[in-house]
Amino acid sequence: EAGVVDIGDGTAVVLHDLDRQRGRFDELVAAFPSGALHAVAVKANPLVEVLRPLVAAGAGCETASMEEIHIALAAGCPADRIVFDSPAKRVHELADALDAGVIVNVDNADELERIVALGRDTTSLIGIRVNPAVGDGRIGVTSVGGRSSRFGVPADEAFELFVEFADRLPTLRGLHVHVGSQGCSLDQLVAGARAAQDLRDRIEARLGVGRIAQIDI
């Protein structure tokens, strides 16, 4: 019978509909202003040949490890469209990411200090991950937008941190906010984006318009 494959016992087959994948990506692009970078999570599909057509269509790649960065590069993704978001980056990982020129979102002040200590002359845009404190989602283990989240820097602290490191890191020009994976209401997601926008306005009131080049939601 057409469409039936005998794979035997104990074997799994995963099929990817690349036309549907491209269609969903096109819907995403149409929903946002032109020029927005849509970075797909490599951890969701760490397969070069699945990522390659998305990259060719203009997608970036969101990564959480150096291994995922290598997968993104193998899929043809330009370094300036790769986002490195791991919440626990080791010194050699930061060095390799900065040398590659990928976007680096730091999770805390320690990571900023490590970048300064490395002394790299880099083109990498660096962002600070902000905890927007918009409340927990319905799935506790994937919710990271509450006040007690272990990830990111509270907005008030992020403002002071950005100002402190602004002169020491010229490419510190981004803000990153992540409310959670699944189980989050649209209102929470919008509130998280608004918190990042408000923080951008505060930073630019202090450091000048145009200091923030990217808000990553």
The dihedral over CA atoms of 135, 141, 144, 147, expressed in degrees to the nearest 10, equals: 50
Chain segment 81-107, per-residue pLDDT in tens = 999 998 889 999 999 999 999 999 999
pLDDT at 1 over 90: no
CA–CA dist 13, 133 (Å, integer)? 40
pLDDT at 145: 43
Q: What is the pLDDT of residues 46-56, one digit of tens each?
A: 999 999 999 99
Q: Please, are residues 142 and 213 in contact by the beta-carbon 8 Å criterion?
A: no
Going by C-alpha positions, the residue among 83, 94, 92, 99 that lies closest to residue 175 is 83
Whether 77 shows a pLDDT value over 50: the answer reads yes
Note the pLDDT tens digit of each residue in 24-35.
999 999 999 999
| Phi, psi (deg, nearest 5) at residue 62 | -95, 125
Does residue 6 have a pLDDT over 90?
no
Give pLDDT tens digits for 117-145: 999 999 999 999 998 866 555 555 545 44
pTM exceeds cut of 0.75: yes
Structure tokens at 53: 């057509």
Q: What is the mean pLDDT of residues 106-120?
A: 94
Which contiguous run of DSSP H or E holds residue 84?
strand 82-84
pLDDT digits (tens, 9 = 90+) for 153-209: 888 889 999 999 999 999 999 999 987 677 678 888 888 899 999 999 999 999 999
> pLDDT value at position 112?
95
How high is the pLDDT of residue 135?
54
Chain centroid to CA 184 = 17
